Amino acid sequence: MHDIRKPALREPLLEVQDLVVEYSVGGKTVHAVSGVSLEVKRGETLGLVGESGCGKSTLGRAVLQLRRPVSGQVRFDGHDLMALHGEAMRRMRRRVQLIFQDPIASLNPRRRIGDIVAEPLVIAGVRDAAERTRRVRDVLTAVGLDPDLVTGRLPHEFSGGQCQRICIARALVLDPEFIICDEPVSALDVSIRAQILNLLEEMKSRYGLTLLFIAHDLAVVKVVSDRVVVMYLGRLCEVGPSEQLFARPAHPYTALLIEAIPHPDPDLRPSESVPVGEPPSPTAPPSGCRFRTRCPKADRRCVEEMPELTPIAPGQLVACHHPNF
């Protein structure tokens, strides 16, 4: 797999400010996203990484307004998405699409592939059947599938990698500008992951896309991302250029995640630096720094004062009272 990092020096396409997402489960409030602010520059790939349950997917869905935030602001190309409803929101979603985490479960098992990929066009109001067919064939060909062999078949007739290609085709058929990739390779075999990652980069170049790449696998994020955002229990820990962040992680949590990346050298002993205990419940997050209950550097200040993202190097910010720098 080739290195697909590219510099991103353009203006923000997506801006998220102080986003808060909460919901009730069993009478308790889950603090899924707590005051998150980030931006995705036009033409870049922003990696969003963290443990399962940290709020990554919820943040992605909140950007699309599939789950309405409690407060905050989401601006896409200057438009306030939280102020849009109904037809206005439907038109905006043509420009912002989502690739779901489970490629097989996200495809309707009773519908044929041609109809699945064409459905966004139907919803968008493309009434010309010949035009819909042309666009479906074009996009299936672009993702490496033969339309003559694919369109009349059902999802269960395809492998996981083929289903993910179909999901990518469905996301691309409306010619969007921005795609949220929610763990797009986590359910796939390692060999297929490389194919899908290379396909995403090819589609990004061909269609001029901007990507928010959500994952818990830092090895994948390191390869695909221009910048990386690290999230823990609903809050951001660290933001920075991919190579810089992996070379010199400032937050103890980021450093632990990087140390956990497996290495193929059998003579290399695994790191014994692991977080202490289990992650706290998002229904009762700790006071101050949310990572303090598992951090070896935690002190009284970490208990009493919540750290804010602070610049620590060019382009790199960290939310920690005791950064590694």
Lowest mean pLDDT among 141-150, 210-219, 265-274, 309-318: 265-274
CA distance 298 to 252: 10
CA distance 107 to 102: 9
**Residue 218: predicted pLDDT:** 86
Query: Which phi and psi (to 5°) does residue 110 adopt?
Result: -95, -5
**Residue 271: predicted pLDDT:** 58
What are the sequence ranges of the domains in the chain?
Answer: 9-95+176-262, 112-174
Give pLDDT tens digits for 190-212.
Answer: 778 888 899 999 999 999 999 99
**Residue 146: predicted pLDDT:** 96
Lowest mean pLDDT among 49-58, 111-120, 223-232, 276-285: 276-285
The single residue listed with the structure tokens 């699409």 is 97
DSSP H/E element including 210: strand 210-215
Give pLDDT tens digits for 241-291.
Answer: 999 999 999 999 999 888 887 777 666 665 555 555 678 899 999 999 999
Q: Which CATH superfamily is domain 9-95+176-262 in?
A: P-loop containing nucleotide triphosphate hydrolases (3.40.50.300)
Positive or negative, the Cα torsion across 95, 113, 198, 191? positive
